[in-house]
A and B are shown apart, each in its own frame.
Chain A
Amino acid sequence: MYRIEIKGPRELQNEVLDKELCSACGACTNLCPYIDMVAGRAVMIEPCNLSEGKCYDFCPRTYIDVPTLDNDLFGTYRSDLRIGSNIMVIKARARDDEIKSAAQYGGVVSALVTYALESGEIEAAVLAGASIDQINPKPTVVRNRSDVLQCAGSKYIVCPTITEVLEAAKKTTGKIGLVGTPCQVTSVRKMQASKFETAADKIGLVIGLFCTWALLPQAQDYIKDLVGSVNLVKFDVPPPPANMFIIETETKKVEVSLDEMRRFIMPACNVCFDMTSEFADISVGTVEGAADWNTVIVRTGFGKELFRQAREAGIIETAPLEKERLDHLYEASLNRKKKVLKEMESKKISCLIIREEDRSKLLS
C-alpha cells in the first residue's frame, strides 16, 4: 500500500498553485470561504489554519493514487496501461436528430445524459454550459433534455465544472451525473474515496471526455479580437495533421494555426497523464476522420449497463471501432503518458502514484 499524506491549504498553495499546476477543475472551491476560482485558476484568499483539508485531498494535482482509485472503481488494478481499465471500446452516435445537430460529433454525451435523466438514473447533471459571451464555459446544472441541448458542443476554454458538483448533490435527493475532463473526473473520484464526508456518494454517473489540453480564459480576448462581437457557433480542432483551430460564427469560419493558440494552453495540462478520463464510467471522444461518430470507452459495470439500456432504447447506435483507429488511440494515449512522465520526472513532480513496474515500463 502507498501511504498518502493528506495536507492542507498551505501545501496546496506550495505544491500546486505556486507551480501553476492548477487545472481549474473546481474541486477545491465552493468548499469554504478561503479559495475562489478566478479566470482559470484557484486563488487562495487566505489559507485557513487546518493542516488537513478537502482542498488538498480532492485536488487532482496533489496526488493521484492510481492503484487505490482503480481498486475502488474496477475492483482490481488496471488491466490496460494504455487507456486504463475498460470493458469495451466502440464507435457510437446519437440517433436523435435534434441532439445530432446540436452536438459537435456523434452526440453520445448529450444522448447518454438525456437518457440517464429521463430514465431516472440521475436527477440532475453538471455540465460545462455556454456562458452569455459564448466563449467562457460555465458550470451548469441540467435537469432535462432542453437544458442538456443548451450545453451541447465541445468547449475548449477551461470550465471549473466541479465547483457545482457538491452543491448540486446537496440540493438533490436522487443521484447526480457529471460530464468532465480527465482532471475533473479524477477529482470527483478522489472526493468519493476521501475520508472527508461530502455529498460525493450521490454522484451516480460520471462521463469523461477525451482531452489533451484546455485553454486559459485569457484566450477569449484573443478570440474576440479575431472574430469581433458576433455570436460564436462552435470551436473545433480537426485531427492532425491539420494543426488548425477553427472558430465558427453565425456568419463566418475563422481558421487559426493551432500554434497560435498553444500559448493559451493551461500549463497544468502539460503534466496530465490521462487523455481518456480513465476513472469515468464511460469515456467519450472523437473518431478521427468520422465527424458524426464518437469513440466510446465503457469502463465500469454501471457504465456498461447504462450504455446497453441506451442502445436498446434506441437512443444511440453503435458500430465496432476499426482496429487501425483503436491502435492509434492506444498509441496516442501511451505516448502521452510517456511524455508526461518524463516531464514530471524532470520537474520533480511526484503527484502520480503508479506501480513501479509500470513507471519503469513507461520511462524505458
Chain B
Amino acid sequence: MSYIGIDEPGKRMLLMGNEAIARGALEAGVHFCSGYPGNPASEILTTLSDVAKEFDSYVEWSVNEIVALEAAGAAAISGLRALTAMKNLGADVCADFLMTANLSGTKGGFVLVTGDDPSAHSTTSELDTRNYARFAGIPLLEPATTQEAKDMTNWAFDLSEELEVICMIRTVTRLSHSRGVVTLGPIKPEKRSANFGFQDMWTSGSSRITCMLHSILHEKLKKAQAKFEESKFNWYVGKDDADFIIVTSGTGWLYSLEAVKLLELEEDVGILKLGTTWPLPEKLIASHLRHAKEVLFVEETDPFLEQNVKVLAADLAIEGFGPIRFYGKKSNSIRGEFGAGTGELDVDIVIQALTEIKELTYVPTEKEYISKAQELLSSIVPSRTMSFCAGCPHRASLWAIKKALKWDGRDGIVTGDIGCYSLAMLPTGFSVARTLQCMGAGIGTANGFGNLRRFGLNKPVVALTGDSTFYHACIPALINARWNGANLLLVVLDNNTTAMTGHQPHPGSGVNALGQSSSKVLIENICKGIGVEVQVCDPFNLDEAVQNLYEMLQTDGTKVMIFRHACPLAFPQEKKVRVYVDQDKCIGEECGCAKFCTRVFGCPGNIWDYEEGKAKIDETICNGCGFCAELCPEEAIIIEEAA
C-alpha cells in the first residue's frame, strides 16, 4: 500500500500540492488519467501512476496535451471518471479540443488540471489559464491550500458529472510544489464499465446544433453558479460591514490573511476568499460589495477576478451599489519587481499595496539588514549560471553544433526548443541557440528561416528538439519542411527520456507510464517515413558528430540528425570508472588550452585546483562519461577502470 492510497479517513498527512490533487482524484474514484509532463504539474500523474495497479485505474503519459485531453474525454463520455493534468502552456496545446469538448459534454466526471507558473520559474510564459475557463465557458476552481487542492479535485468530479461538463482546476507552482497538512477523506473506488453505445453521439456539431449546445452550456454554467453561491470553498472573514475588503483567490488568500494580520488591520479589512472563480458566485460577491467602499484584488498573474467583479459592479450600480474604489493590477497597487500583472505574488506585495492605499508605514525588513545579508551571501555563495548536469550528452551535442556551424562559416541560425536543452541559449550550451518559444517552435520557426533565401536570408538553419518534444510537437512541422522544401537540419537530442520534467517515459523509451514495456517508436523510422535524410550519431563521438553535421549543412534540403546518448541521471553508466587529471600533464591556463575544460566546456565535474593552477575532477559528481578526456588537448585527463 502506497502512502498516497492509505484508506484512513481523518488521518492527517503532509502532502505536496500535486500529491493532494492526486489524492483528491483517488478519493473521487478516478478511472482514467492522462497528461504530458510539465512543471509544475508533473507529479500529479507520477503519483497516480504509482498507485494505478493498486486502484485498478489507467494512467498514461500521452504524447502531448491535446491527445491526453481527447483520450480522457473519450473515457469520460463512456461514463468513467477521467482526469488530465498539464502545465499552463499545455492548455494552449489542448485548447482546440477544449473548445468543442465544452459543448459536447460528458457523462463521467471530467477534470482538467492546469498548473500555472507565475514568475515563469520553469516555463517560457506566465500564461494565466483561468482565461481558458472563461473562454470555454466551463466551471473553474482555484485551490488556496493543500487541503483544498485535495478537496476541490474530489468535488470537481461530482460537479462535472452532475452538470455534464468538463471542470477545470487551476493550481500554481507555489501550491503544487509546497507541502501542507491534509486531512484525508474516504476513498470511494467505484467499479464502472465504460460504455459508448450504438446510439451515442459525442460532438459539438455545427450550425444550429452547435448554437443549441452553446445555449445548453450557458444553462450548465448557470447551474454551476447556483452551486458556487453555496460552496464551502468561498468564505468571508472580517467585520460584516467592513468598508475595505480584499477579494482574493488561490495563494492570494494566505498572503492576504498574513498581510492583514501583520498590519493589524483585522478590524478594518474584510477578506472575501473565492475558490470557485468562474462563473463568479455573483450573489455572494454582491453581498460584500454592498458594504464595501474600497476593494483590493489579490490574485496570481492576470486581473481575472478584478475585471469580472468590476463588470458585476457595473451591473449592480443601478441597484444603488457604490461608488466603490477598486485597487489591484490596473491601479498598479499589486505589483512585483516587473510591474503589475507579472511575477509571483507574495505577502510583501500585499503589504505594499495595503500600506500605500491606507497610507501606513510598515517596514517589513530593515534596509540595512538586507544589504548586510546580501554582502554576507556574496562572500560564501559562488556566483554561477545554470548548467547542464555532469556528463550530460547535450553539452557534447551543442559543442558539435557550435563547431559544425563555425566550420560552415555562414553564421547559421539555431532555433531552440523546450527541454533541458533550452539551456542552449546560455554559456553552458555555448550560447548556440538564438530562439526559444514553445514546444515544437524550434522546427516550426526553422520552416520559416529555412525558406527565406528568396528574401535574402541565406544561412544554414539548425532546429533543436529533444526526443520527447519531437514526438510531442515536431512531426507536422517536419512534414511541412519536406513538403515545402525548407532548408533545415533538425537535430534531435535523444536522451531516451523526458529529462527536464523528471525522467518520464516517452514513445521511444520502450516503457509506458504504468511501467509496462511497449514497442519503441523510433524517431529515425518516422523520419524515413516522411522521406527525409536521417542520420544517427553518438555525440560523444565528437569528430564523427561534427563531420556529419558539417556535411549535412553543405547541401540543401530537409534533414535530421539524431544525437543519441541516454541521460546519465536516468540511466547511470554500468561500468564504473574513475576519471582524474594528471596534473603533470595539465598545462592549465597556458596557451594550448587556457582552461578549456573548466572555462569553456564547463561540465560541473571539471573543476579548477586554485592551489596548483591546474584542472581537476570533482569525483563526487563526475559520472565517468570520459568525454572531457577526449577533448583535453594535452591528454591530461585519465580514465581508469575502478577496482
Contacts and interface: CB of A to CB of B under 8 A. Distances in A.
B633 A33 contact: yes
Contacts of A43: 406-407, 409
A31 B592 contact: yes
Contacts of A36: 403, 406-407
A313 B633 CA distance: 43
Interface string B587-631: 001011110100110000000000000000000000000000001
Interface stretch (A48-56, A84-92, A263-271): A48-56
A49 B599 contact: yes
Contacts of B592: 31-32, 54
A38 interface: yes
Nearest to B430: A46
B402 A52 contact: no
A295 B96 CA distance: 80
A1 interface: no
Interface in B368-385: none
A46 B593 contact: no
Nearest to A53: B591
13 contacts: A31-B591, A33-B593, A34-B594, A34-B596, A36-B406, A38-B409, A39-B407, A41-B409, A46-B402, A46-B430, A48-B591, A48-B596, A196-B591
B432 to A, nearest CB: 11
Given A32-B633, A33-B631, A45 B406 contact: yes
A10 to B, nearest CB: 13
Interface string B397-412: 0000011001101000
Given A43-B406, A45-B402, A46-B430, A32 B600 contact: no
Interface in B567-602: 589, 591-594, 596, 599-600
B554 to A, nearest CB: 9
Given A33-B633, A46-B402, A46-B600, A38 B593 contact: no
Contacts of B550: 38
Q: How large is the interface on B (under 10, 10 to 19, 20 to 34, 35 or more residues)?
A: 10 to 19
Interface of A: 31-34, 36, 38-39, 41, 43-46, 48-50, 52-55, 196
Nearest to B593: A32
B591 A54 contact: yes
Contacts of B430: 46
Contacts of B591: 31-32, 48, 50, 52-55, 196
Contacts of A46: 402, 406, 430, 600
B628 to A, nearest CB: 11
Given A32-B633, A33-B631, A33-B633, A48 B594 contact: yes
Sorted from nearest, which 8 A-B pairs have the closest CB atoms? A48-B594, A38-B407, A53-B591, A45-B406, A33-B596, A32-B592, A43-B406, A54-B591
A53 B550 CA distance: 27
A50 B430 CA distance: 18
Interface in B3-22: none
Nearest to B601: A33
A54 B594 CA distance: 12
Contacts of A45: 402-403, 406
Nearest to A198: B592
Nearest to B596: A33
A44 B409 CA distance: 10
Contacts of B600: 33, 46, 48
B407 A32 contact: no
Nearest to A41: B409
Contacts of A39: 407
Contact of A50 (B402, B406, B407, B594): B594
A172 to B, nearest CB: 17
B370 to A, nearest CB: 35
Nearest to B600: A46
Contacts of B594: 32, 34, 48-50
B404 to A, nearest CB: 10
B409 to A, nearest CB: 7
Of B409, B430, B594, B633, most buried by chain A (CB within 10 Å of CB) is: B594
A32 B403 contact: no
Contacts of A32: 591-594, 596, 633
A43 B409 CA distance: 8
Contacts of A33: 593, 596, 600, 631, 633
Contacts of B403: 36, 45
Contacts of A53: 591
Contacts of B631: 33
Contacts of B599: 49
Interface string B236-264: 00000000000000000000000000000
Nearest to A54: B591
Contacts of A196: 591
A244 B600 CA distance: 49
A152 to B, nearest CB: 28
A44 B406 contact: yes
A52 B591 CA distance: 8
Contacts of B406: 36, 43-46
Given A43-B407, A49-B599, 18 more contacts: A31-B591, A31-B592, A32-B593, A32-B594, A33-B593, A33-B633, A34-B596, A36-B403, A36-B406, A46-B406, A46-B430, A48-B591, A48-B596, A49-B594, A50-B594, A53-B591, A54-B592, A196-B591
Contacts of A50: 589, 591, 594
Nearest to A47: B594
A171 B600 CA distance: 28
Nearest to B550: A38
B606 to A, nearest CB: 13
Contacts of B593: 32-33
Contacts of A54: 591-592
Nearest to B546: A36
Contacts of A55: 591
A71 B589 CA distance: 33
A54 B550 CA distance: 27
Contacts of B402: 45-46
A50 B587 CA distance: 14
A156 to B, nearest CB: 22
Contacts of A31: 591-592, 633
A53 B590 CA distance: 9
Of A48, A50, A53, A55, most buried by chain B (CB within 10 Å of CB) is: A48
Interface string B124-166: 0000000000000000000000000000000000000000000
A59 B67 CA distance: 59
A46 B401 CA distance: 13
A166 B52 CA distance: 64
B593 to A, nearest CB: 6
Nearest to A196: B591
A50 B633 CA distance: 16
B613 to A, nearest CB: 15
Contacts of A48: 591, 594, 596, 600
